[in-house]
A = this chain, B = another copy of it.
Amino acid sequence: MEWSTEKRYLPYEKWSAKTLLKLQSQASNSPYQLHYHIRPKSGLLNDPNGFSYFNNEWHVFYQSYPFGPVHGLKSWEHCVSKDLVHWKDLGTAIYPDTELDSHGAYSGSAKVIDNKLFLMYTGNARDAEWIRHPHQMGAFMDKNNHIEKLPNSLIEQPQHTTDHFRDPQILEHNGKYYCILGAQDKATKTGKIALFEAKDIKGPWHDLGYIDFTNEEMGYMIECPNLVFIDEKPVLIFCPQGLDKATVKYENIYPNMVLVGDKFDFKSAQFDSKNPIQNLDDGFDVYATQPFNAPDGKVYALSWVGLPDLTYPTDIENWSGCYSQVKELSLKNGQLIQKPVSTIKNLRQEEVNFTGELETKNQYELKLEVAASQKTTLHIAADEANTESLKLHIDTTNGELILDRQNSGFTVNEKYGTKRAIKLPKNTTLDLDIFVDHSLIEVFVNDGEHVLTARFFPKKGSNKLLIDENIKFKGQYWEMADI
């Protein structure tokens, strides 16, 4: 299908209901459909937005283009959960239906203010010359999930940035509101994180300049910046597009980075850190991760498992993208730790002892403890003859773990490599907590010191789980329930 600009920006009312019904049923019937992760009802899902707790429920909204696997005219789709695992899709929440968001209700965040959930997002508008005008917009959602947009833009594009100015994260500190935004500096065309301050959520908002967190150049644009506090330390999670690979090594088309700081001063926008900028995820497809400081004192994050400007095998089924499970963030010796949300255990069915070979439904959790000084390969979604599988090469002698999606079914963006490797302590036991959901794998390494997340697309009937060689390991396996 040809996706002209005109077609991508066709108003929702110009599409037919029959087309939408067909897209919805096509997505629901896909063999690659996720069964215990958030997935689009139809079309494309990207950045998580407005991850929050309000009215006794967890909320997250997904960036949605319901009419195909492309980045067309975006809306917000609303999901709610009681336990951070069972999510219910309540449908479209914010439409691109005003002058200020006519070309997309783009990403943003949420905060409980005055018994309502305040949503702040980027209204994307283009004029007759197709020049982009980003408007930072506000909306209030009441306890009936009814949303009212504020009529005016809260923050307009500042003089010092280009029109790449978006993805507001709203924060509160010492009785004031702060907003951090992804930006491209006009003078240098480099990626920045902008900071604004206001006494009243409706403004006026004052420009505090860019957050000073590094002396390195952060590519040409930073998308989806988020600041959270873990053990009172500031942590930045952000996507510096075009980042020089000499600055931080990464292999995906665009990186999702994390920087653990020591101190953040809101007034001066000074972010102090003695730590390096690092990849948030060591797999293939994590982007636009949205963390938030939850009222239960924990820090949770959700990631889009999908990358901008790439295609995926489900495109031919007219849908694309999914979310990671919720991850709980913590710090250990200045390093970010990402663990599976504890309630994911609620999905476990009967425990099975994994002794080296299992027929699966490609919907499971596998906990694997590999002894020191072992070398093996774990085959996921292997076909009958084990000629194709997603491979996890494990070497606890030399301390190496490689996720290898070459020859794992349909190919996925091979241009950006087919392997992702991480270094581990040598001659040490390795703990893996692996979640497979049909076309998604999440590998939590050594209690969350690393995570490797990837989409993969096994051929029909490829559902074996096997481990090579006669090595020392312990395996616990659970089929996971649908949500």
Q: Which residues of A contact B (CB under 8 A)?
A: 11-22, 24-26, 28-29, 31, 66-67, 78, 82, 86, 88-93, 95, 144-145, 481-482
Question: Would A16 and B18 count as touching, CB distance under 8 A?
Answer: no
Closest to A145 in B: B29
User: Closest CB-CB distance, A404 to chain B, in whole Å?
Assistant: 29
A325 to B333, CA, bound (A): 53
Residues of B within 8 A of A15 (CB): 16-18
B89 touches A18 (CB 8 A): no
Q: What B residues does A25 contact at CB under 8 A?
A: 78, 90-93
A361 to B26, CA, bound (A): 34
A-B contact pairs, 26 of them (CB 8 A): A12-B16, A12-B17, A12-B18, A12-B21, A13-B16, A14-B16, A15-B17, A15-B18, A16-B16, A16-B17, A17-B17, A17-B19, A17-B20, A17-B66, A17-B67, A20-B21, A24-B91, A24-B92, A25-B78, A25-B90, A25-B93, A28-B89, A29-B91, A29-B144, A86-B482, A88-B482
Please give the count of copies of this chain that the complex contains: 2
A13 touches B22 (CB 8 A): no
Write out the residue numbers on chain B whose beta carbons fall within 8 Å of the beta carbon of A144: 29, 31
| CA A15 to CA B17, docked complex, whole Å | 5
Contact B13 A91 (CB under 8 A): no
A135 to B33, CA, bound (A): 35
Q: Are B13 and A66 in contact (CB-based, < 8 A)?
A: no
Q: How far in angstroms is the closest Cβ of chain B from A434?
A: 23
Q: Which single residue of chain B is at the shortest CB-CB distance from A11?
A: B18
- Which residues of chain B are near A12, meaning CB under 8 Å? 16-18, 21
User: What B residues does A88 contact at CB under 8 A?
Assistant: 28, 482
Answer whether A29 and B90 are a contact pair too, CB < 8 Å, given A16-B13, A20-B20: yes
Option from B11, B17, B26, B90 in Cβ contact (under 8 Å) with A13:
B17
Q: Cα distance A24–B15 when bound, in Å? A: 16
Instruction: Give the complex CA separation of A479 and B296 in angstroms.
Output: 23
User: Considering only CB atoms, which chain B residue lies closest to A14 in the complex?
Assistant: B16
Of chain B, the residue at the smallest CB distance from A92 is B21
Q: Which residue of B lies closest to A24 (CB)?
A: B91
5 closest A-B pairs by CB: A25-B91, A15-B17, A12-B18, A17-B20, A13-B18
Complex alpha-carbon distance, A66 and B18, angstroms: 10
A416 → B minimal CB distance (Å): 31
Name the CB-closest residue of B to A10: B17
Residue in A21, A24, A29, A144 whose Cβ sees the most chain B Cβ within 10 Å: A21
- How far is B28's CA from A482's CA once the two chains are assembled, in angstroms? 19
Bound-complex Cα distance A135 to B105 (A): 47
> Among the listed B29, B95, B145, which residue makes an inter-chain contact with A18, where contact means beta carbons less than 8 Å apart?
B95
Task: Give Cα A22 to B77, complex, Å.
Answer: 11
Q: Nearest B residue to A86 by beta-carbon distance? A: B482
| Bound CA–CA A31/B146 (angstroms) | 12
Does the CB pair A91–B21 fall under 8 Å?
A: yes
| Max chain B C-beta neighbours (<10 A), residue from A11, A12, A17, A18 | A17
Which residues from chain B contact A95 at a C-beta distance below 8 Å?
A: 18, 21
Give A75 Cβ to nearest chain B Cβ, in Å.
Answer: 8
> Closest residue of chain B to A19, judged by CB?
B17
Q: A28 to B146, alpha carbons, bound, how many Å?
A: 12
- Residues in chain B near residue A482, CB distance under 8 A: 82, 86, 88
A19 touches B13 (CB 8 A): yes
A457 CB → nearest B CB, Å: 16
User: Apart from A17-B19, A20-B20, A21-B92, what 6 extra A-B contacts exist at CB < 8 Å?
Assistant: A12-B17, A15-B16, A21-B91, A29-B90, A31-B144, A88-B482
CA distance A93 to B144 in the complex (A): 32
- Bound: A20/B41 CA distance, A: 13
B21 touches A66 (CB 8 A): yes
Complex-state Cα separation, A13 to B20, whole angstroms: 9
Contacts of A31 in B (CB 8 A): 144
User: Taking the nearest CB of chain B, how far is it from the CB of A80, in angstroms?
Assistant: 9
Residues from chain B with a CB closer than 8 A to the CB of A82 are 482
CA distance A29 to B11 in the complex (A): 24
Tell me the bound Cα distance from A93 to B29 in angstroms.
10
Chain B residue numbers with a CB within 8 Å of A92 are: 21-22, 24-25
A386, chain B: closest CB distance, angstroms: 24
- Min Cβ gap A418→B in Å is 28
Q: A91: which of B11, B17, B28, B89 is its contact (CB, 8 Å)?
A: B28
- The residue on B at minimum CB distance from A12 is B18
Docked pose: A90 CA to B28 CA in angstroms: 5
Closest B residue to A78 by beta carbon equals B25
